[in-house]
A and B are shown apart, each in its own frame.
Chain A
Amino acid sequence: MIPFDLKSPLVLYPVRHHSPVCSYHLIKTIEEYKPDIILIEGPENANHLIPSLVHEETQLPAAIYYYYKDKKKLVSDNADDYKCYYPFQYSSPEYNALVQAQKLGIEARFIDLPYCEILIHTTDGAGMRKSADKHSYTDDSMLVQSRFYEKLCEKSEVRNFEEFWEKYFETDGLYISTSEFVSLMNTYCMLVRHSTSEKILEADGTLSRENHMAYNIIEAMKSYNKVLAVTGGFHTSGLYRLIQSGKVKPIKIHKITNDNHGCYPMAYSYRAVDSLRGYSSGMMYPGFYDNAMKYMLSSENPVGVYNSGTLNLLTETAKKSAKKDIPISIADMTAAYSMMHGLAALRNTKECGMNELIDAVTSCFIKGEKTVSSSLPVDILRQLASGNAVGKIGDKQYIPPLITDFEKQCSKLKIKYTSSVPETIDVSLFTSSRGREVSKFLHRMKFLGTGFSKIVKGPDIYNNQDMSRVREEWKYQRNPEVDSSLIDHTTDGFTIEEACTNYAGKILDRYRKCSAAASVAVDCFQMGIKLGSAEQKLLDEIITADGDFFSVGNGMRNFETLFRLQNLYNFQDDSTLRYLIRCFDRLVSALPLMANAPSEKADEIINIMRSMYSIATKILPEKTEYLESALTSIAGAEEKEPAVFGAAMGILYAIDSKNSADAENAARGYLAGTVAIRKKGADYLRGLFTTSRDIVFTDSSFLEMTDQLIISMDYDDFLEILPSMRLAFSSFTPNELRIVAKTASKLHNVNENDIFMKPAVNEKLFLFGENFDRMICESLNMEGLLNE
C-alpha cells in the first residue's frame, strides 16, 4: 500500500483530473503538510506559464496549448504536426495545487516529459497518438478501460464509471477523512493499474513519463525537505514503485528548436472541455462541478453541496424549459425533487448527484413518449450542467504568434479588434486596394474557422451567383473563441497567411475530391493566396485520380469561374488554366459513359455538358473536336437517357448546324413509338432545347413535332409529360416564347394572343388566392409569427 504520511519528506497525492473532491482533500493536505515545493503532473516545458494561469485576472476555464512540428521525423516518418490541450477549471486539483503554492509562496513545478518527448515515446495509435480531432493531456481513460471496472460496476449495481465515481468518490468522498479518501483512491487506481498490461503502458508512453516524473521527484527531494507530488491516481503506484527501487535514470531529451515546439496559455470554454471528454476521458458536466468546487471553497462544510447544486440546476432547467414553451409546474418540480432524493436513497448515495437529477427530469418533466423533441428538458439540463462560460488569460506576457499577427493585420487595415461588440463593414472590391485587402483578410479569418468574420452579401463565386456585386458586406466580432481558434492553428503557421496556406494544403489532402479541391481553390482566390508547388501538384493528382464525373464537373465549373475572374480581381495564377484543362480532359473521356445515366442525374449531366461546350468555344477551342467526338458517342449509344441524348444532339447542332437533320430524325423516332416511347420524347426535347433552343427557330419542324407529341397524348399521359415540357421551354426568353406562340397558333388557326396572352389563372381564383394570402399574413402578424 502507498503510504500517506504527512511527516515523511515525500507525499504522493493521487487525483482524477477536474475532480472537486480530489481538490477538496488536496487543499486540506497542503494546509496540513505545508510542503516546500509542489510537483504537478504536466509537461515541464510549460513551467514558465504557471504565473499566467494563477494570475489574478485569469478566469477559468483556461488551457495550456502545446504544439510540436515533427520536422526532424522523431515521432514518425510522416513529419506531422501535433497539438494537445491541458485544460484547467476551478475544480481541477492541478490548478488548486498551483493556487495553494502561490498562497504559501512556494514553488510549483510541472514534472512530466515535454509534449514532444511524450509523443516520441508513444507508439502510433496509442495514448496521445490515437486518431482524434483533439487531444487532451488530462485524458484519464486508463481509469475506465480495464475489465476490473466493469466487474466493479456490476457488483456495485451502477451503470457506468461516471455513476460509480460520482457515488463512491465525488459525494461519499466528502464524508470521509483525507487519509481515508487517499487510501480509497490509491486502492482503486492500483487495482485498475494491476489489470493493465505493461505492454499497453509501454506503448502509450506511461512508463517513460513515469520514469521522468520519478526522476524529477527524486531530484527535488535533494533540495527540499517536504515534497508534495500531485499526479493522476493511475501513475501514483508506478511512481511509488520507481522511487522505492532507486533505479531511476534520466531520459534523454532531444534538441528541438523553439519554432518547432512550444506552448501558450489560452482562454478555454466549458463546451471545449466537455468536447474533449470523449469516451470516459475526463469528468462530465464541467460547469456543474466547477460550481460545486466554488461552493466548497466558500463554505466551512462541504456537506450538502450536491443536494444544493442539483436543486439549483433543477429550478434552472424548469425556468429555461418554460421559456421554450414547455411549462413545468411547481407540482412537477416537487415530484422531480422527491424523485431525486428517492433515487439517492434507493441507490445508497449520500447526496443527489447528476445521475439522480437526470433521472428525475426524465421521469417528471417529459410528458408522453420520450423522443428527440420531447427530451428537450433533459437536453437543457445537460447544457446547463456543461456550462457555457468562456475563460480569460489575465497575463498578456505570452501572446501566441497568430494572435499577434491578427492584431497587427487588424490595426493595419483599421478593423476594430478590441471591441467585443459585433461590427459591420462594407468593402468595395474593385475601387480601392484597401477594400480588396480587407476582403482578403476577412476571407482568411473565415477560412480558418475562427468565427471572427461572416459574409452577409457579396459575389458568390462557389455557385457563380450574384457575380454583378462589386461590394461585400461583412459582420465581425472578436470573442475568446476567436483567440482559441487562432491558437488552434499555431501548428499551421505563425502568420495568418502562412496558416491559411498550410491549412488549405491539409484540406486538400484530407478530402481528395475534385469538387472539394476546387472549393479550396476558390477560397484561396478570395484570400489572395497562391498554393505552393506541393499543393499544386497535389491538386493535379486529385483531379487526375477523381473518378466521380459530377465531382470533376463541379470542380471544372469553379475553375472556369476563377479563370474568368483573374483579371478583374487582379490575381493571376497560371495553374488555374492547367486545372481547367485537366478537368475538361477527364470529363471528355468519361462523357460517353453518361449516355445511359439514371434520369435523376440527367439535369446535372446536361449542366456539365453545357459548361463543357461553353469552355470549348470560349477558352479551349482546340478541344472542340474531342467534345464533338464524345457527344457523337452518346448519340450512337444503344441505350440512352433521352434528356442527355437530346442535350448531346443540341450541342452537336450548335457545333455544326448540319447536325440538325440528325436531331430531327431522333425526335421523329420518339414520336413514331408507343406511348411510353413518346413520353421519352418529351425528355428528349427538354434536353435538346436546354442546349440549343435556336434550333426551334431555324426550322419549324421541331415545333410541329412538339405539337404532334402533345396532340397524340390523352389527358393523363399529357399530365405526365407536362413537367418535362414546361422545363423544355423554361430556357426560352419571353420574346422567343412569343415567336413560339405565333408559330403554334398558325398550326391551329387561332390568334397568337389567344395562346400566349391567355390568362394563366382564372381572375376570380387569383383574387381569392390573393385575399386568402393576405388574411393569413395578417393573422400570422397578429400572433407575432411573421418577421417581415
Chain B
Amino acid sequence: MDKVFIKPPVEIRCADELRLLRENDTGKKPENWFLSPKAVRTFILGGKIKTADGTVIIPRKFYGNDALVERCIITLAGNRGLMLVGEPGTAKTMLSELLSAACCGISTNTVQGTAGTTEDMIKYSWNYALLLAKGPCREALVPSPLLIGMEKGIFARFEEITRTPAEIQDSLISVMSDQILNIPELEDDGLILARPGFNIIGTANTRDKGVNEMSGALKRRFNFETVEPVKDVRLEKEIIIREANDLARSGHIDMPVNTDAAEILAVTYHELREGIDSDGIVVDKPSAVMSTAEAVSVFYQTLSHAWYYGNGTVDMKIMTQNLIGAVCKENKDDLEKLRGYFRTSVKNKSEKAGGLWKDYYATAKLLK
C-alpha cells in the first residue's frame, strides 16, 4: 500500500506539472535552475503549455498580485535574497515553497526561525560521536540547510526570520555578501563557495515587527516584497472553497461544499479585516488575525463537524461557534467587535439578502 502523508511538499504534490513544464521548457534558465523564469511564472500563476500530447492547463496556485510573483522570480535569479513580509495567513510560506520547488525542484531545504534558533542551525553543527572519533572532518560535519543550498546551488528557505535573535540573523550577512562560508575547523577544506543557483528566501510576519528588527546591513542584502491579503471577496470565496475541498478530500470527507456558506464566511473575514462593510458602514477590526487561511480553517472545521456529527450539511450555528473560536482567541474585546458586526452588517444583509444570511444572523445569540 502506498504511503499516505498529511501534507506532501509541493514538488511531490505537483510532480506531474513540474515534469511537464521542465520537459516543454524552452525559456532561458539561470544556471542550476530547475525551470526557466517563464515556466516558474506559469507554474505559480497558471497558464497553458503545449506538450506532445496537446495543450495542458497548469492551474493557478497563488492568488493576488501577479507582478509581485514576477518580481520575486527575477530577484531570485539575481544576487539578492528575497524577503517576503506580510500579515499572518497571506500565503508567504506557500509562495516561498512554490518558488523553491519550481526554481530548484525542492522546497524542503528550510530553516525554521524561532526564539531558540542558534548560529549552528544556520551554518553547521557536528556529529559529536564522529567528531570525537575522527576529529573535525567533512564526515563529522552536519550541514545546515544554508550550507546545503550553497553546495548544491539551490535555495535555502528561512521561515519567520524575525523570530530569530538579531545577532543570529546577522550571521547570514557574510554568506550573502561574499557567497562564502568559512569552516575554520576544517582548515584548508573549510572554505565553502556557493554554487550558482544558491539564494535565500526569507519570510517575516509584520506582527513580529520590532521583536527582532533586522539590521540595516542585512536588509540591504534582500529585496523586500509585501504580500497583502486578498482584496477581492469573490476570489477569497473561491480560495476558501478550493482549499476546503482539498482538505476535505485528503481527510476523506465526501460531502459537497456549501458555496453560500463559504461566501458568507469570505464576506465576514473580508469586512472584519478591512474595517468596512459592503454598505460603507465602519466595522471595528478585531485584533485577531483575519486571514484567508484562518477562514479556510474555520470552514474546514465546520465541514468536519457536519460530516462526523451532523447530517452532512453545513450548520450555521457550528460555523459561528468556530468563528468565535478563531476570532476571540487573544483579546476579549474581539467578541464585542464580532457582536457589533453581527448587530449591524449581518443584520442588514439578513434583511436585504435573506436566505442563509438570515440563518447566520439567527446565530448571533451564541456571541456571549
A residues lining the B interface (CB < 8 Å): 157, 159, 329, 331-332, 335, 338-339, 342-343, 345-347, 355, 359-360, 362-364, 366-370
Contact = CB atoms under 8 A, between A and B. Distances in A.
A172 to B, nearest CB: 18
Contacts of A329: 220
Interface stretch (B51-59, B68-76, B186-194, B233-241): B68-76
B231 interface: no
A363 B224 contact: yes
Given A343-B74, A362-B71, A370 B226 contact: yes
Interface stretch (B77-85, B105-113, B333-341, B360-368): B77-85
B78 A343 contact: no
B1 to A, nearest CB: 42
Nearest to A360: B71
A346 B42 CA distance: 11
A363 B220 contact: no
Nearest to B228: A370
A368 B205 CA distance: 11
Interface string B295-318: 000000000000000000000000
Contacts of B75: 339, 363
A709 B268 CA distance: 51
B224 A367 contact: yes
A332 B71 CA distance: 15
Q: Which 6 pairs of residues, A with B, have the shortest CB-CB distance?
A: A342-B74, A370-B226, A363-B71, A363-B223, A367-B219, A369-B85
Contacts of A343: 70-71, 74
A345 B78 CA distance: 14
B197 interface: no
Contacts of B37: 342, 345-346
B23 interface: no
Contacts of A157: 45, 47, 66
B71 A331 contact: no
Given A159-B66, A359-B71, A346 B223 contact: no
Contact of B226 (A339, A355, A369): A369
Contacts of B67: 159, 355, 359
B207 to A, nearest CB: 11
B209 interface: yes
A368 B71 CA distance: 15
B149 to A, nearest CB: 20
A369 B209 contact: yes
B206 interface: yes
A660 to B, nearest CB: 47
Contact of B70 (A335, A359, A366, A368): A359
B41 A346 contact: yes
Given A157-B47, A363-B75, A363-B223, 7 more contacts: A335-B79, A346-B41, A360-B71, A363-B71, A363-B74, A369-B85, A369-B206
B48 to A, nearest CB: 10
Nearest to B45: A157
A716 B41 CA distance: 65
A335 B78 contact: yes
A371 to B, nearest CB: 8
Contact of B80 (A335, A362, A370): A335
Contact of B85 (A347, A360, A368): A368
Interface in B164-216: 206, 209, 214, 216
* Size bin of chain B's contact surface: 20 to 34
Contact of B74 (A332, A346, A369, A370): A346
Chain A contact residues, majority secondary structure? helix
A346 B219 contact: no
Contacts of B85: 368-369
B78 A338 contact: yes
B17 interface: no
Interface of B: 28, 37-38, 41, 45, 47, 66-67, 70-71, 73-75, 77-80, 85-86, 206, 209, 214, 216, 219-220, 223-226
B366 to A, nearest CB: 32
B57 to A, nearest CB: 14
7 contacts: A157-B47, A338-B78, A343-B70, A359-B71, A367-B220, A368-B214, A368-B224
A362 B224 CA distance: 8
A370 B224 contact: yes
A369 B222 CA distance: 12
Contacts of A331: 220
B225 A363 contact: yes
A342 B224 contact: no
Nearest to B74: A342
Contacts of B86: 369
Contacts of B79: 335
A643 B326 CA distance: 45
Contacts of B206: 369
Given A346-B38, A369-B206, A370-B226, A339 B219 contact: no
- Please indicate which of the listed interface residues B74, B75, B86 has the most CB atoms of chain A within 10 Å of its own CB: B74
A132 B77 CA distance: 46
A280 B86 CA distance: 30
Contacts of B80: 335, 364
Nearest to B219: A367
A301 B69 CA distance: 34
B224 A366 contact: yes
A360 B72 CA distance: 11
Contacts of A359: 67, 70-71
- Please indicate which of the listed interface residues A329, A335, A363 has the most CB atoms of chain B within 10 Å of its own CB: A363
Contacts of B71: 339, 343, 359-360, 362-363
B40 to A, nearest CB: 9
A274 to B, nearest CB: 22
B225 A346 contact: no
Contacts of A355: 67
A346 B78 contact: no
Contacts of B74: 338-339, 342-343, 346, 363
A470 B201 CA distance: 68
A474 to B, nearest CB: 42
B73 A346 contact: yes
Nearest to B80: A335
Contacts of A342: 37, 74, 77-78
A360 B70 CA distance: 11
A346 B209 CA distance: 33
A332 B219 CA distance: 11
A347 B70 contact: yes
Contacts of A335: 78-80, 223
A370 B71 CA distance: 14
Contacts of A339: 71, 74-75, 78, 223
A620 to B, nearest CB: 42
Nearest to A362: B71
Nearest to A341: B74
Nearest to B40: A346
Contacts of B224: 363, 366-370
Contacts of B38: 346
- Please indicate which of the listed interface residues B73, B85, B224 has the most CB atoms of chain A within 10 Å of its own CB: B224
Contacts of B78: 335, 338-339, 342
Nearest to A339: B74
B220 A368 contact: no
A335 B76 CA distance: 11
Nearest to A163: B67
Nearest to B71: A363
Contacts of B73: 346
- Please indicate which of the listed interface residues A346, A359, A367 has the most CB atoms of chain B within 10 Å of its own CB: A346
A431 to B, nearest CB: 54
A689 to B, nearest CB: 38
Nearest to B75: A363
A693 to B, nearest CB: 41
A159 B206 CA distance: 27
Contacts of B45: 157
Contacts of A363: 71, 74-75, 223-225
Nearest to B28: A345
Contacts of A332: 220
A363 B209 CA distance: 19
